[in-house]
Amino acid sequence: MSTAEQIERALRDARESGIAGVNVLSSALLFALRGRIVKLVAELSLPAIYQWPETAEEGGLIAYGPSLLGAFRQVTTPCC
């Protein structure tokens, strides 16, 4: 899938097929579309787990993984 419309259709189709929840994996596209995805899974009453805590802070149900912002801070912090 490479477009927002394809992702939205896949989520709607999955809901119609009776899935119990979704795991939104880590990718640049899914992170960029996180607002739309969070809104849609809420509309569909689907529990979802996300890979970045920032997504949960923005309204997602739960996230498990490192903080993207925290990772960037560590990369830019001098070590010595």
Q: Which of 7-11, 30-34, 61-65, 76-80 has the highest mean pLDDT?
A: 7-11
Lowest mean pLDDT, pick from 9-23, 27-41, 50-64, 65-79:
65-79
Query: Pick from 63, 72, 69, 68: which is nearest to 25 by CA?
Result: 63
Long-range contacts, 61-68 (Cβ 8 Å, 24+): 65/26, 68/31
pLDDT at 77: 67
Q: What are the boundaries of each domain within the chain?
A: 4-76
